[in-house]
Structure 1
Amino acid sequence: MHIDLTGRTAIVTGSTAGIGLAIATGLAGTGAHVIITGRTQARVDEAIASVKSAVPTAKVTGVAGDLGSAEGARQLIAQVPEADILINNLGIFEPKAFFDIPDEDWTRFFEVNVLSGVRLSRHYAQGMAKRGWGRIQFVSSESGLQIPAEMVHYGTTKTAQLAVSRGLAESLAGTGVTVNAILPGPTRSEGVGDFFAKIAKDQGVSQEQVERDFIQTHRPSSLIKRLATVEEVANLSVYLASEQASATNGAAMRVDGGVVRSIA
Structure 2
Amino acid sequence: MNIDLSGKTALVTGSTAGIGHAIAKGLAGSGANVVINGRGQDKVDAAVRKLEGTGAKVRGIAADVSTAAGCKALIAALPEVDILVNNTGVYEAKDFFDIPDEEWSRYFDVNVMSGVRLSRAYMKGMLKRNWGRIVFISSESGLNIPVEMIHYGMTKTAQLSVARGLAQLTRGTRVTVNSVLPGPTMSEGVETFVKGLAKQNGQSVDEAAANFVRQHRPSSLIQRFASVDEIANMVVYVASREASATNGAALRAEGGIVNTIA
Please state how far the C-alpha of 1:52 moved relative to its aligned partner. Answer: 2.2
The one-letter code sitting in structure 2 at the alignment partner of 1:41 is Q
Question: Within the alignment, does 1:254 sit opposite 2:241 as a pair?
Answer: no
Alignment of 1:217-256 (within 5 A): 217-256=215-254
Please state how far the C-alpha of 1:203 moved relative to its aligned partner. Answer: 3.2
Instruction: Name 1:152's counterpart in structure 2.
Output: 150
Please state how far the C-alpha of 1:39 moved relative to its aligned partner. Answer: 1.0
Deviation by residue 1:19-58 (Cα, 9 ceiling, x = unmatched): 00000000001111000001111111111122123x32x1
- Secondary structure of 2:112's partner? helix
Question: Within the alignment, does 1:199 sit opposite 2:197 as a pair?
Answer: yes
Distance of 1:200 and 1:226 partners within structure 2: 15
* Superposition TM-score, scaled by structure 1 size: 0.97
Q: Which runs of 5+ in 2 are unaligned?
A: none
Alignment of 1:41-190 (within 5 A): 41-53=41-53, 55-56=54-55, 58-190=56-188
Alignment of 1:24-39 (within 5 A): 24-39=24-39
Q: Determine what percentage of the aligned residue pairs are the same residue.
A: 61
- Secondary structure of 2:34's partner? strand
Deviation by residue 1:51-87 (Cα, 9 ceiling, x = unmatched): 123x32x110000121111111001000000000000
Q: Which runs of 5+ in 1 are unaligned?
A: none
- Secondary structure of 1:182's partner? strand
State the Cα RMSD in Å: 0.9
The one-letter code sitting in structure 1 at the alignment partner of 2:140 is E
Distance of 2:78 and 2:172 partners within structure 1: 25
Question: Within the alignment, does 1:14 sit opposite 2:14 as a pair?
Answer: yes
Please state how far the C-alpha of 1:199 moved relative to its aligned partner. Answer: 2.5
Deviation by residue 1:200-232 (Cα, 9 ceiling, x = unmatched): 233333222221111010001111110000000
The one-letter code sitting in structure 1 at the alignment partner of 2:32 is A
Count of aligned pairs between the two proteins:
262
* Superposition TM-score, scaled by structure 2 size: 0.98
Distance of 2:49 and 2:253 partners within structure 1: 27
Distance of 1:69 and 1:102 partners within structure 2: 19
